[in-house]
């Protein structure tokens, strides 16, 4: 068994913590340090001094402190979306300027830059707005490659990075890599391929430091190990905390009631598409649902009108050939869960029971330990569950980095290009 105790690693902007927890599982010991931004660890209290909300990293810090595993935590003296990515940067510790940690011989740096500049929700934004959102990614890349200078830098981002819409972002990343003499490996994958049930397509980006002795990008292995949701969630201990759900949205309550009316109590078995709304569209039952809502006394007039407006919005979008996000898909199958996004958590039904998935089930789908908790009011903090990297996926991509470092001189390389695209969903390797 290889001893990884000499491998040094760190995390930039760990957010809710899956990248850091997965990294530790892969390397076998704690990180040297974290660096993030002021406020990302901040709790928020109400007038009665009750904790109601907190920054992403507050939840990670509380978990690590509970296990006596917290590492030195620094913050940049800047905001995450400052566009002057080449500016001089100072570090703070407990709000006071301090000397940076020891960057010598850092082997691996992991990061979780914000992906909103590439998310499907921001497709309609201006190029200026998108570039402003992407500057967090660019700054972290420049800081990692130009200041820390690890052998391997890895970050996670949206699947759209590998689409035509992400070409301008890839170009900027490759320019940064070239400036600091790194090669690049894009790794497209899906969380459910890494011993998980969550359908969460993502792109990981590897930067490999060129040393003048070896040519090409180190080969990254593939993995295909999907676990059905029924099997995956059965691992949750009965005494695990936060086995509660957020409030179910009215449109989902209405969809559930209408699905039972339209397809019977066994509506899951009597339908074929992955979502209730798509089943209604296939069977041309959208108007039937609207009529059902108009006569449904379960809701007051104001709520009925809101649901009907959502139905009309869907019809309008479809009439001009567009997709819609008015009603988030309601999952019906027992093989996968959807991505843990803030719009999915309050709308997606359990694969078997007529309820939403619990906070603990979503945390488990993110690969978080059974005693990892979200602090504050659940209705406020639940979006941060998905502002995260599934820990099991992070463990896999970090293990690949550890394997490459431990076999640096002998590892197999793709010699055709300094930029290579690895598609784990298709298990293909394409020099770019």
Say which residues have a Cβ less than 8 Å from residue 395's Cβ, sequence separation at least 6.
Answer: 22, 23, 25, 26, 194, 367
Task: Provide the 8-state DSSP code for 93.
Answer: E
CATH architecture of the region 9-230+388-431 = 3-Layer(aba) Sandwich (3.40)
Query: What does the alpha-carbon distance between residue 421 and residue 428 come to, in Å, rounded to a whole number?
Result: 8
Q: What is the pLDDT of residue 122?
A: 44
Q: Is the pLDDT of residue 177 over 90?
A: yes
At residue 116 the predicted structure's pLDDT band, cuts being 50, 70 and 90, is low
The stretch 288-294 carries a mean pLDDT of: 95
Proportion of the chain above pLDDT 70, given as a percent:
94
Helices marked H in 264-300: 276-282, 286-294
Q: Each residue of 64-81: pLDDT tens digit?
A: 999 999 999 999 999 998
Asked whether the beta carbons of 193 and 424 are under 8 A apart, the reply is: yes
Domains in the chain: boundaries: 9-230+388-431, 245-357
Query: What does the alpha-carbon distance between residue 426 and residue 164 come to, in Å, rounded to a whole number?
Result: 18
Say which residues have a Cβ less than 8 Å from residue 91's Cβ, sequence separation at least 6.
Answer: 35, 74, 75, 76, 77, 97, 98, 99, 100
Q: What is the pLDDT of residue 126?
A: 47
Q: Which stretch, 127-131, 253-257, 316-320, has highest mean pLDDT?
A: 253-257
pTM of the predicted protein model:
0.93
Asked whether the beta carbons of 133 and 121 are under 8 A apart, the reply is: no
Q: How far is CA 382 from CA 56, 190, 326, in A?
A: 10, 22, 20
The stretch 307-315 carries a mean pLDDT of: 90
Q: Each residue of 384-397: pLDDT tens digit?
A: 999 999 999 999 99
Q: What is the pLDDT of residue 1?
A: 47
**Which residue in 110, 104, 94, 90 sits closest to 30, CA to CA?**
110
Q: What is the pLDDT of residue 119?
A: 53
Mean pLDDT of the chain: 92
Q: What is the pLDDT of residue 329?
A: 62
């Amino acid at each position: 068994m290889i001893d990884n105790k000499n491998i040094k690693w760190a995390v930039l902007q760990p957010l809710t913590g899956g990248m850091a927890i997965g990294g530790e599982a892969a390397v076998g010991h704690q990180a040297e340090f974290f660096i993030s931004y002021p406020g990302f660890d901040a709790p928020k209290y109400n007038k009665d001094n009750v904790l109601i909300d907190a920054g992403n990293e507050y939840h990670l810090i509380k978990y690590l402190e509970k296990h006596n595993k917290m590492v030195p935590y620094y913050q940049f003296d800047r905001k995450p979306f400052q566009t002057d990515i080449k500016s001089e940067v100072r570090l703070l510790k407990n709000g006071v300027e301090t000397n940076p940690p020891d960057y010598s011989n850092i082997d691996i740096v992991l990061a979780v830059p914000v992906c909103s500049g590439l998310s499907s929700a921001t497709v309609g934004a201006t190029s200026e707005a998108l570039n402003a959102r992407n500057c967090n990614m660019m700054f972290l890349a420049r800081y990692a490659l130009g200041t820390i200078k690890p052998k391997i830098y890895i970050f996670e981002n949206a699947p759209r990075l590998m689409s035509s819409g992400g070409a301008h972002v890839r170009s900027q990343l490759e320019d940064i890599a070239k400036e600091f003499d790194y090669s690049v490996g894009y790794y497209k994958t899906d969380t459910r391929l890494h011993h998980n049930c969550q359908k969460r397509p993502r792109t990981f980006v590897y930067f490999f430091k060129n040393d003048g002795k070896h040519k090409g990008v180190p080969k990254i292995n593939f993995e295909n190990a999907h676990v059905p949701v029924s099997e995956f969630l059965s691992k949750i201990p009965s005494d695990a905390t936060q086995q509660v759900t957020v409030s179910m949205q009215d449109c989902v309550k209405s969809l559930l009631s209408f699905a039972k009316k339209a397809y019977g109590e066994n509506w899951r078995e009597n339908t074929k598409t992955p979502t209730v709304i798509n089943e209604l569209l296939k069977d041309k039952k959208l108007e039937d649902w609207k009529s059902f809502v108009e006569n449904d006394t379960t809701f007051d007039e104001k709520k009925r009108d809101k649901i009907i407006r959502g139905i009309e919005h869907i019809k309008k979008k479809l009439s001009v050939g567009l997709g819609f996000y008015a009603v988030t898909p309601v999952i019906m199958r027992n093989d996968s869960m959807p991505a843990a996004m803030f719009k999915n958590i309050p709308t997606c039904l359990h694969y078997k029971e007529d309820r939403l998935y619990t906070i603990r089930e979503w945390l488990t789908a993110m690969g978080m330990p059974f005693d990892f908790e979200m602090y504050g009011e659940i209705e406020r903090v639940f979006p941060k569950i998905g502002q995260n990297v599934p820990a099991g996926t992070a463990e896999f991509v970090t293990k690949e980095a550890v394997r490459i470092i431990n076999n640096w001189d002998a590892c197999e390389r793709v010699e055709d290009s300094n930029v290579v695209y690895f598609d784990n969903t298709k298990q293909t390797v394409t020099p770019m």
